[in-house]
Structure 1
């Protein structure tokens, strides 16, 4: 069995105790909130951020299909990274920190699987980087949520800092390395959906012209043309 942290002299363990020590000195209600946020809250926030980004990139005009394809790739990449993590965990076999180290304030129970790498850190960073590929502004917010998720996992006493760093690296690598292939496959699919009469709004918002401009309604277009003729 591989042991990545043998004693408290290890900087990884020292940082674990420093961050988790904040939970010991925090009020009980705050620890409960952090437990929920780290376990479910930030994952939900990431999903809502993706939905918000989707509602924005649909107005991207000619680039809408490519943007939505990149956005679809974000959760798909997270799922692939999660699958890649399965053999990694089985190979490393690193126990949870509270198994080998006493005095940790563990905010959630029932964690019996291996620790390296963190699933939560992997998923959130994969979605955050995937968001960045689709839209930089939303991507920066997603990466910030992923960093907060990583902090929460250590704060909760269920992961070492290196578990989180490994998750960040895995999620980022899967998104960036497979992105060219994913975009080559997903973009034509999104363009086909865009041209479909009933479901095309999933890709491009109604009334959005190529280039992201809202098309004029017929009356407004006629009035605009008349004014231009008079000016001429």
Structure 2
């Protein structure tokens, strides 16, 4: 069934205009760069936020990298040949078929896309409307250009998303504590990387100072007595 769908998609790809084929070819790589830009934007956005938000922003690219590593390990175990060599009667792939030994299942591009889409959505509420379509288009483009089966990209998306969620959930607490420590550090680089955190309202600062003064007065009276 996956082979039949692969033939249908690659046949459709060859019937599309040349400019669309070029866009699909470029998108398989350009999408990764755009996710990288969103990681940086998410980190910058989290700098004035509380430490949990900073932890999620930092874990987004790390969780994506974890999804890629798991996908690569699975790929080395499965050893599925690329469809551009294995499917008889299929149209030629739009891009060069990867070398023998660069196996097909699962799709690393799709794993990265799935992990990035979910990790960014966890760190940046409301951005899923952008990251999820990006991931789906990137996965589809891998079949469109002829280098993956449909089941390769479906598995990659699911695997990447699950690994990203697991990674982020397990490490949010420790990274949040690290962000707190960095924000209180005397190192200018550490405080810049972690960001200043949320500003303390003037009223809150005054109230906090007043409580500290009252506490010191009570301590002094206790010592005199």
Shorter-chain TM range is: 0.7 to 0.9
Per-residue deviation, residues 102-158 of structure 1 (Å, max 9, x unmatched):
332412215121100000000111111111111122244222211111111111111
Tell me the number of residue pairs that the alignment of Structure 1 and Structure 2 aligns.
199
TM-score normalised according to structure 1 size: 0.77
Pairs within 5 Å for 1:120-131: 120-131=109-120
**Superposition deviation, residue 35 in structure 1:** 0.6
Q: Is the 8 A contact 1:128 1:140 kept in 2?
A: no
- Whole-angstrom distance in 1 between the partners of 2:192 and 2:122: 21
**Superposition deviation, residue 205 in structure 1:** 5.3
Per-residue deviation, residues 40-83 of structure 1 (Å, max 9, x unmatched):
110011111122222222232xx2x2112112212212222222
Q: 1:109 maps to which residue?
A: 96
Q: Report which of the two structures shows the higher radius of gyration computed on alpha carbons.
A: 2
- Alignment partner for residue 196 of structure 1, among 176, 185, 196? 185
Change (3 A) 1:104 1:205: farther
Q: Structure 2: state its 5+ residue gaps.
A: 204-225
- Whole-angstrom distance in 2 between the partners of 1:48 and 1:153: 21
- Whole-angstrom distance in 1 between the partners of 2:27 and 2:72: 24
SS at match of 2:168: helix
- Whole-angstrom distance in 1 between the partners of 2:178 and 2:184: 10
Q: 2:7 maps to which residue?
A: 17
Matched, 1:35 2:25: yes
Q: Is the 8 A contact 2:84 2:97 kept in 1?
A: no
Q: Structure 1: state its 5+ residue gaps.
A: 1-9, 217-232
**Superposition deviation, residue 99 in structure 1:** 1.1
- Whole-angstrom distance in 2 between the partners of 1:139 and 1:152: 19
Pairs within 5 Å for 1:1-232: 10=1, 12-38=2-28, 40-60=29-49, 63=50, 65-101=51-87, 102-112=89-99, 113-197=102-186, 198-199=188-189, 200-204=191-195, 208-210=198-200
Dislocated runs of 4+, deviation >6 Å = none
SS at match of 2:106: coil
Q: Is the 8 A contact 2:10 2:145 kept in 1?
A: yes
Worse-superposed segment, 13-22 or 95-104: 13-22
